[in-house]
Amino acid sequence: MTGYDMTVADRLDRALFTIGAWMLALLWILPLIYAIWTAFHPAAYEVNFDLTAPLTLENFPKAWVQAPFARYFLNTIILVLMILAGQLVLGTCAAYAFARLSFPGRNVLFALVLVQLMVMPDILLVENYQTMRMLGLVDTILAIGLPYMASGFCIFLLRQTFMTIPKELDDAARIEGEGVIGTMLRVYVPLAKPTYLAFGLVSVSAHWNNFVWPLIITNSVETRPLTVGLSIFSTADSGLEWSVINAATLMTSGPLLIGFLLFQRQFVQSFMRAGIK
């Protein structure tokens, strides 16, 4: 549509559409803008949005020394990588078996996997806590991650991807002398790379942000992830300033946020890909 054949009504329609989109976007990003504003200004300006207010970086070191954030970061990174590694290894094995091998009870077992899409470990707090206590794992990073390592979503997603790979490649690999595991690793895994990336992003952001289960199963600095650490930090009755809390908030979500800004396109596309299948 060129500018010439646009009627007044069309133009008005177009303008309203754009204004609506922008209003919604500003509303949605407002919390982040506010956090950035207060985190980079002295505490006196946390409710006083003056454009000439002096910028400062001092809120970040202030927050950093008031809680063991370095330890929380380390815990979270270990946790997220551990969960992802577990999910990918277990998911690949299970998905390959479901997609390409025949065995008795295949459908029943697959149905049992799908149950987890509905009933997530987050809901079975009480029993899972008792299991961890029985295993002697309460207050360990492993205990935060273990319930999530066999991911129904990961198995389902990889199975769908593996099923789209032509079976002729299997036969070719067999003729080359590859066994079941060799075929899986050398044919299926490389071809499913986009799915691995998509799932990886979803998993990392989900577990970086997870809160309730880590809150319950951890009770010491050595195991607490960032989310739990931040909640303790900000609810502590220490008369903390908003600007310091917001600096801590930005630090906590910083790595994900920066990662998201840098890889925005891939991020959104991989989420989309994860959604279609």
Partner 1 sequence: MRREWIYALLLLLPAMILLMGFTHIPAIETIIDSFYSTPRGRRAARFVELENYRTLLADDVFLRAFWNNLIYAAVTIPASIIISLGMALFVHSRIRGLSFLRMAYFTPTVLPLIAVANIWLFFYTPGFGLIDQIRGLFDLPPQNWMGQTDTALYTMIAVAVWKEAGFFMIFYLAALQTIPTPLREAAKLEGAGRWTFFRRVTLPLIMPTTVFISVNAVINSVRLVDHIFVMTEGGPNNASKLLLYYIFEVAFQFWDTAYASTLTVVILGMLSLLAIGQFFFLDKRVHYK
Q: Which of 115, 136, 168, 238 binds partner 1 (CB under 8 A)?
A: 115
Q: At what angle do helices 69-100 and 141-149 cross, to 10 degrees?
A: 20
Give the nearest distance from C-beta 62 to partner 1 in angstroms.
15
The residue among 141 and 228 lying less far from partner 1, judged by its C-beta, is 228
**For 109, how many CA atoms within 13 A lie in the half-sphere containing its CB?**
11
Binding mask 120-149 for partner 1 (x = CB under 8 A): xxxxxxxxxxxx--------------xx-x
Q: Which residue has the tokens 């697959």?
A: 110
Binding mask 231-270 for partner 1 (x = CB under 8 A): x--xx------x--xx--x--xx--xx--xx--x--xx--
Give the nearest distance from C-beta 133 to partner 1 in angstroms.
11
Chain centre distance of CA 237: 30
Instruction: Please list every residue from 42 through 81 that binds partner 1, using CB under 8 A.
Output: 46-47
CA distances from 7 to 51, 168, 276 (A): 40, 57, 38
Can you tell me the distance from the alpha carbon of 92 to that of 157, in angstroms, rounded to the nearest whole number? 10
Give the nearest distance from C-beta 57 to partner 1 in angstroms.
19
The residue among 19 and 221 lying less far from partner 1, judged by its C-beta, is 19
Asked if 26 interacts with partner 1 (CB under 8 A), we say yes
Q: DSSP 3-state helix, strand, coil percentages of the chain (rounded to 5)?
A: 75, 0, 25
Give the nearest distance from C-beta 193 to partner 1 in angstroms.
19
Instruction: Please list every residue from 179 through 198 that binds partner 1, using CB under 8 A.
Output: 180-181
Can you tell me the distance from the alpha carbon of 69 to that of 266, in angstroms, rounded to the nearest whole number? 29
Give the nearest distance from C-beta 256 to partner 1 in angstroms.
5
Q: Are 63 and 277 a contacting pair, CB within 8 Å? A: no
Give the nearest distance from C-beta 93 to partner 1 in angstroms.
4
